[in-house]
Structure 1
Amino acid sequence: MGEAVRQVLPANAVAPSLVRRHFRGWLAALGWPPADTDDLLLAVSEAVSNAADHAYPPHRPGDVVVEAECVPGANGSRRVVVTVLDEGAWRPPPAWHENRRRGVPLMRACTESVDIWGSPSGTRVRMVSKPVPV
């Protein structure tokens, strides 16, 4: 339906804004509706932020990979499937986490589905957008 995209970014504080800019252009080229674009960009940005904040220990650089493709859906619809990958290790949540731990619920609210797989060798987040008309 559309060319898949892949972006490799350093897992740092700038990564979410870079991925938003890149994916906004890609979604615009697909003719993705603006409100649905905003929801999907928020979900992807949050997944990238989580990798930047939690995947790697302080002062140990790492990458976050974002891949996406537009796929046909049922009844003349289409969806975007986004995968966010890192090679970090799961770390315990910070002791002080007020105003934290809202990222996954936010991703779930902005997409049709979110699946998260974590292991000692990295984390994979797969999100499927809400359907939009072709």
Structure 2
Amino acid sequence: MSKTVRERLTADAVAPSIVRRAFRDWLCELKWPEEEAEDLLLAVSEAVSNVTDHAYPPGRAGEVLIEAECIPGNDGQRRVVVKVADDGTWRPPPAWHENRRRGLPLMRACTSAMDVRGGSAGTEVTMTSRPVAAALVAERNEFSN
């Protein structure tokens, strides 16, 4: 079982689905509880979608880097820490996005902690899952799709 996952993808319309599939498989391998896994999948997918929608201007190809690690705690619990990064520039959302702007609150609601750092070299979003008891993780045998 790999305690880490790393994906570097072209930041395009298919990147979120590729990440969801890889991340789902990884969480399944970790025997992560289904409800918590669904929240993480939603948060990671949203972060990758934000890169594809906002990090790069039209006509400029870019990449998105996803790194995740399962970290055991001293208290018998585990957490997953996920970083989603790009080397684009922060762009204001287009006018047609006025009623959307729910991505960051959604990611915060699906995780126990989230940090966004942006600058001229790109943006990095770090999300930490809610803790999962090690006993619960060991008891789960399947992740349903």
Q: Give the TM-score of the pair, scaled to structure 2.
A: 0.88
Distance in 2, Cα, partners of 1:3 & 1:35: 20
* Residue identity matched to 1:5: V
1:2 to partner: Cα distance: 4.6
Distance in 1, Cα, partners of 2:99 & 2:9: 26
Aligned to 1:92: 92
Aligned to 2:7: 7
| Structure 1 runs of 4+ with >2 Å offset | 95-99
Aligned to 1:42: 42
The number of aligned residues is 134
Where structure 2 has 5 or more consecutive residues not aligned to the other structure, the ranges are 135-145
Where structure 1 has 5 or more consecutive residues not aligned to the other structure, the ranges are none
Q: Which structure is larger by alpha-carbon Rg, 1 or 2?
A: 2
* Residue identity matched to 1:125: V
Identity of aligned residues (%): 64
Q: Give the TM-score of the pair, scaled to structure 1.
A: 0.95
Q: 1:17 to 1:87 in 2, by over 3 A?
A: same
Q: 1:74 to 1:101 in 2, by over 3 A?
A: farther
Query: What secondary structure sits across from 1:45 in the alignment?
Result: helix
Aligned to 1:23: 23
Query: What secondary structure sits across from 2:126 in the alignment?
Result: strand
Kindly provide the CA deviation profile for residues 21-69 of structure 1, in whole angstroms up to 9, marking residues without a partner as x. 0000000000100111000000000000000000000111100000000
- The range that moved more, 68-77 or 27-36, is 68-77
Aligned to 2:123: 123
The reply on whether 1:110 has 2:107 as its aligned counterpart is no
